[in-house]
Structure 1
Amino acid sequence: MQLRVLFLCGGNSCRSQMAEGLLRSLASEVATAQSAGLTAEGVHPRAVEVMVELGVDISTHHSKAVPELKAETFDVVITLCDPAREYCLLPSALTQDDQTPVDPLAHNPVIAGVPVLLHWSVSDPAEAAGSAEEVLAAFRQARDRLRERLRDFIDSGTLAALTESRRRFETVFDSLDEGLFVHDDNRRIYLFNRAAERITGQSRDDVIGRDCHAVFSCGGLCSAQCQFREGPPAKLRRDQELRITTKTGEERRLEMRISPLDASMGRPGQILARLRDITELTSLRHELRESHSFHNMVGVSRSMRETFEAITQVATSDYPVLITGESGAGKELVARAIHDESARKGGPFVPLNCGALPDHILESELFGHVRGAFTGAVQNRRGRFELADGGTLLLDEVGELSPIFQVKLLRVLQEKSFERVGGERPISVDVRVLAATHRNLRQMVREGSFREDLFYRLAVVPITVPALRDRREDIPELTAHILAKIARETDSPLATVSAETLDLLAAHDWPGNVRELINALRFASVRSRGEPIMPHHLPIEIHETGWDQPTLPPRPSTPPPTSTPPPTIRRREKLTVETVRDALLETGGNKVRAAKLLGVGRATLYRFLDRHPLP
């Protein structure tokens, strides 16, 4: 590899051009040389004349100004005058009057990549006065001074050492499996390794020196959530998961971690971004969700798989989500899963039940208070918004908020700042807000009990958690999952469930949803004392409901029910292919009615059909 060297002076007319020509003649095999000026000027004829004396022709040299270097990076920048040195130490390029900064994203291109900066003070021979011979002597003196510095630079081993250091760095940088790239505070990319090429589908030559927003589409690495979209952020969020479409059109899921690199000598800050391709891992997680569980939520039903997919989709953004569903259906689990799947998973997850507190206490809980704000406020206290800074805040039972508090919450969501109770200083936090409710907020909006503007602030993305009775096929998996958890909590053997009990669980309507199922199984595991859980071990409201249905036999040691089963329902016998086929023919293929006709639960019939497919 060759070291990329730039010579810089005020006007690209003599010193920088002579230095470029000299380095090319002395070390072209190990270094490439360029020259530029703060302004572009033509080649000085005296510089051409004195360089010809050494056999070096610079007469055809193209004069460049600094703005022409925007797509290039350098390993070493050697300044030859004080104005050029001062320019290199500026974080951003200035306008010609050196007073008004240009567009902050139009970063000083000379120091992109944070090269080694050297300063050689060489007098400008173009300013020499006197006769033609005296002026020519000044040019020879400047030429010889540059040649002397370059020989020292080469003979001392400095050039070779820098070249070897660069080679070793690139070898290590490109050998890593993790994609790495570095950009400055103004988004200009100057390092991009081979793994980053492979992961993003972008070639190094296409991205070096360019604004990353120009390289990566808004739907990729530089999405609407990019922290550098409007310049350097006040606070850096370190971890993100995102989806991108590569240059070849391939969809990929990435984990991106960003770290600040220390700036020095007045140079701009730099950001190291690390990319890991988790497409395959995400696919495996998705397969696992379809077969088992997802963030402690169990479900094989279509409705739950759709819920899991919705969680992964909304997790990639910071938009508010409204989670609706009956009490006990698992709305908080959904909210926590969104948090754990998102880039905020390293931050706090803070839930607050809005329906459990009166307004004056809720305001203090949510926004905090200052000392002396009210009786008992003996010290400053942070609210849930502050505690959730950098993470996620769940406003549970948001439908219970009073009209007055709805106004307060709306103002915070609109202005993205708040004051503590009794305080005057506005506080800004970086929080994603999720809301949950068992109530129909749209109906409440129509009735006038919930603000329409607040509803649309909270319900940017709605997710509905299905009731347990609407996903009965999940009950066997849920039961196994809950019993395993009970065994771990109580340090006891794993309880088993009889087929009759499972049928009874599948037939129950579960008005309390998963929470009711958990309580029922805890109750039954205590009563069963290590034996298989039978129907009579369940809470009375579940098993007695079953006795009213002729599809289930009476429990042992219990007198049979006095009511006579309807004559159209058969007494339960061992299922055979013939009896099942007859029942299905009689009910027109309706499996629910066939199960009732056979005197068995639907789950039992489904298991039989799985084992004995009918022709």
Structure 2
Amino acid sequence: MNPKNIKILFASKKIPEASLVAAAKALSVSGGEVNAIAASGNSSFDVQKLKSFFKEHSLGEIPQLHSMEQVDFHTFDLVVYLSDTDELDIYPRLPGNPPMLTWKLDGKGDSREEDLRQILERTHDLFSHGYLDALVTYKRHGDLVLESLNEGIIAHDLKRRIFLFNRAAERITGFNKEEVLGKDCHEVFPGKFCGEKCSFCRLGTPGLDELDKEYSVSLVSKDGKKRTITMNLFPIEGPNKKPLGVVAAFRDITEELRLRRLLTPSTSFHGMIGKDPRMQDLFALIEDVAKSNVPVLILGESGTGKELVASLIHHLSPRKDHLFVPVNCGAIPENLLESELFGHEKGAFTGAIREKRGRFELAHKGTLFLDEIGDLPLPMQVKLLRVLQNGTFERVGGEKTINVDVRIIAATNKDLKEAVRKGEFREDLYYRICVLPITIPPLRERKEDIPLLAIHFLKDALKTTGKRPEDMVISPEAMAILRDYDWPGNVRELQNAIQYALVRCKTRVIAPEHLPASILKSKSRVIEIDRTPRTRGRRPLNLSPEAVKEALIKTGGNKKQAASLLGISRASLYRYLQKNMH
């Protein structure tokens, strides 16, 4: 049984007659079931002599002769190269490349009829001795292994021409094998398959020791989706370790990373800190909101980080390449607010000595953040509503209508629904800006985040002083006070408290006595802290036996660590123990 769907290339650089005869014989022997192609680097031959030879041996019509320069060897199952010299292989023996037989012709004379007769015999033997059947079995088994892998496999030569691309690679990238084989890797994949880590870009022709063997990279698939893949690279080498190409096994870990984030939530999100479930929900909501273009209303007490959330939404959105323009509606005098938002023409009022663009114009194609929108006067609410509805306005003193494309993010610490009920805020404006409401929980409702935030602020503050993060810690007693406090000023107040303690603390441990008095006074239990002004010489200790015992128990009797927890030196602790605890 002759194998079907097999493509054989009979090629010769100098002898077109040989490749034509071999292809014709293959077609006649297989009954047309094999796709035999003839290619040559030379298209010149004696047509009449070749016709006579074909007729004598019943070879039928002379096949079409292709140019070797235009033939893609990778698309064939077998290449038979016909040569009258000891030429080297016409392409590297790379994995994924078809096997190649080299038939050396040894006939004599210009007619080469002896060579052509040898080709007829060899071509007949190729089919009659089971070689092609074995090739089909080998190819089927090899493809089965390659296509059954869950990992994508891609390989290219030193010119980055892809010659291997399995089914998993098709699934992960969205590209079909036919779209990539034989093409430059960089031309097929937008932004390069390996991103900025392409060894062939950095090194030209990398050797075995110069390749990055394993790394993760972001890949844009054919449908435009961004995927994260992990890659393992293996150089392909020939004799004498000569580099021939690279094969990469890669795996899509996009979903794995998403699930990992769900199972082990990150405590940090683009500068925001929080492991509380409400903060984790907030992080996810910010990502979703950033993808849309509708107005957002951020609700939260003073100091919760409303402007940070607004900035994150902007910088994660498609508008990130344009300006984020913040405006504090409560901080601008009412008589200047219209000019600040919409701009003014030269001479519009006393002091308008030049034309000025307003915040809406500055935020064109970007985001305008209206902080404390609850403080906006009613007349200005009407003008703002018009801009939100039509995207148009006029500058103060101007007649020209200006069109803008601006996303509005508003924020307030007030109850706008109550303000609407009292007639202090327009109902139509409220529903215009409150398409996507986001509520930031106050710090007192997420106590578990206080230690994370305190340590984060301490590290940030230490950087400004040139100290290392490990140079200072917060004692358990001080941390307990921070956790118990209600934080009416929220995250901003906590940050200020850490900066205050850092200034007051002269040791490496922040103790309760270093915290602001307002925090200590609000504690439910009384704590006595020595507030005696510092003088030269030794400062008297104001420790309780209970505090010392607790510190020793927590440190397992280690006096050095206990002294650090108490915010005193080890020598001071020894003196206290000698005097007070027998």
Q: Give the TM-score normalised by structure 2.
A: 0.49
Q: Whose Rg is larger?
A: 2
Q: Give the TM-score normalised by structure 1.
A: 0.47
